[in-house]
Amino acid sequence: MATNENIYDEIEIEDMTYDAKLQLYHYPCPCGDRFEITLDDLREGETDIGICPSCSLQIRIIYEIEDLPRPEVEAEGQKVPGMVMSEQQVTALAAAT
């Protein structure tokens, strides 16, 4: 768990860079590496702390859950970004194939 002594700064998520392929946010660290946090950690509320793998610094990420990228779902074998399906829609799609 992060302690306040290791928190370098508080960063708005809009100021971070999102890597859609890796599903993570990153932000430059003063050591030359970068702070990282996964989209899943943010969505699940696991943590709001981005860590740098090269040093002991950490950042607290300020964000709203509804501002995060929406999950991708597969529709007819293709990933469709931002499409959210209900359980009934998933069942109907599965029955149609």
pLDDT digits (tens, 9 = 90+) for 32-62: 999 999 999 999 888 899 999 999 899 999 9
Q: Are residues 16 and 48 in the same domain?
A: yes
Cβ(93)–Cβ(75) under 8 Å? yes
- pLDDT, position 15: 96
Q: Which of 56, 79, 59, 54 is nearest to 69 (CA)?
A: 79
User: Is residue 19 predicted with pLDDT exceeding 50?
Assistant: yes
Q: Are residues 78 and 57 in the same domain?
A: no
Q: Are residues 54 and 11 in the same domain?
A: yes
Domain of residue 43, residue span: 4-63
Q: Are residues 12 and 53 in the same domain?
A: yes
CATH number at residue 46: 3.10.660.10
Domain count across the chain: 2
Tell me the pLDDT band of 6, cut-offs 50, 70 and 90. Answer: confident
- Comparing 56 with 77, the larger pLDDT belongs to 56
Q: Are residues 46 and 88 in the same domain?
A: no
Q: Are residues 18 and 36 in the same domain?
A: yes
Q: Are residues 17 and 56 in the same domain?
A: yes
